Structure 1
Amino acid sequence: MAKVAFLLAGGFEDSEMKNPYEAIKEAGHETTIIGLEKGAECKGKKGTVSYTAELASSEAKASDFDAVVIPGGSAPEALRVNDDVVRFVKELNEQGKLISGICHGPQVMISADILKGKAATCYIGIRDDVKLAGADYKDEEVVVSENLVTSRTPNDEPAFIREILAKLA
């Protein structure tokens, strides 16, 4: 079974964390919530779910994980300015491990500079940023490009989860 990290900060899109997290756990994979500080409470922007960071980004080692999921909402904005988060995602990419992001999640991929030459999708509001980062932007429910899986909105969660689970299998 795979070890899957979830990058989280307050203000994430509730369902974009809850649904992939539960599906990945249900499939038997091990999950770890990585936040800016260990023990920090991360509340969803709609207030329906809340999670506690089990590991600080400063302690996260790419070699300990097989994949990362980056939910959207406003959390990626807080995550992308953290050097440890960016390092972690860069290292996962260098190791060819699965990096998945939905909605605003690809903002972290932009800061980690891992989109060049890959296809990706995202929330329409950051489409230009994804293109400027070197990605071939696609307006599709899910885009799989090498080790990346990206989706646009909560409506795309079933396809997003399906492709993550397929990659982890």
Structure 2
Amino acid sequence: MTEQPLKGRRVAILATDGVEQVELVRPRAAVEDAGAGTALLSLAPGSIQAMNHDVEKGDVFAVEGTVAEASPDDFDALILPGGTTNPDKLRQDPAAVRFVKNFAATGKPIGVICHGPWTLVEADAVRGRTLTSYPSVRTDIRNAGGTVVDQEVVVDNGLVSSRNPDDLPAFCAAIVEEFAEGRHFAT
């Protein structure tokens, strides 16, 4: 029997059109294999178009809820995948920014990869935190008060971050571990 450290946990995945497909699919599979239920939240109902390396259309994924109607209280953890246009669209949406800001304030764990930290920056959720990201996002993180390191995975008090799809094995292992630990600090 497979160990399921996330059995009974609910994980929100926040993404929209332009999400890097592998950064959505592999973390989702990792937490589901560990026993979690997941919900793909987006800006609007329907479906979102994933991309492969920002140049080739990937699969289309059904949205299971809108971020405007979601509450951080309904989830135990959050995954923010990358892709260049995905977090750029999310950080321009007030409901998405509010959800991420409120989620970060709960102390519940968050996994973020590649360009995903742009949404955290907009939600003022990197100040005083150490994380990694795709190189083009690092100045934004520093300007928002975060510390950036160049490692395949960084864990800072429940915030798990990685640089790019090459880091997915380490990222997936770390999010399962951190999500199993649960809340890391109180507001």
TM-score range, shorter chain: over 0.9
TM (normalized to structure 2)? Answer: 0.87
| 8 Å Cα contact 1:93/1:147 also seen in 2 | no
Q: CA RMSD in A?
A: 1.0
What does residue 58 of structure 1 align with?
Answer: 68
Amino acid at match of 1:45: M
Deviation, 1:38, is 1.8
What does residue 117 of structure 1 align with?
Answer: 128
Q: Which runs of 5+ in 1 are unaligned?
A: none
Matched, 1:32 2:39: yes
Amino acid at match of 1:151: S
Cα deviations by residue, 1:36-81 (Å, 9 ceiling, x for unpaired): 0122x11111233221111111101011111110110020111111
Larger radius of gyration: 2
Deviation, 1:23, is 1.3
Q: How many residues align?
A: 168
What SS does structure 2 have at the residue aligned with 1:59?
A: coil
**Superposition pairs for residues 18-167 of structure 1, below 5 Å?**
18-39=25-46, 41-46=47-52, 47-73=57-83, 74-167=85-178
Q: Which runs of 5+ in 2 are unaligned?
A: 1-7, 181-187
| 8 Å Cα contact 1:18/1:49 also seen in 2 | no
Deviation, 1:91, is 1.1
Structure-2 separation of matches of 1:133 and 1:104: 15
What SS does structure 1 have at the residue aligned with 2:22?
A: helix
Deviation, 1:19, is 0.5
What SS does structure 2 have at the residue aligned with 1:168?
A: helix
What SS does structure 1 have at the residue aligned with 2:178?
A: helix
Structure-2 separation of matches of 1:103 and 1:15: 11
Mean Cα deviation higher: 41-50 or 118-127 = 41-50
Where in structure 1 do 4 or more consecutive aligned residues deviate above 3 Å?
Answer: none
TM (normalized to structure 1)? Answer: 0.96
Q: Percent identity?
A: 38
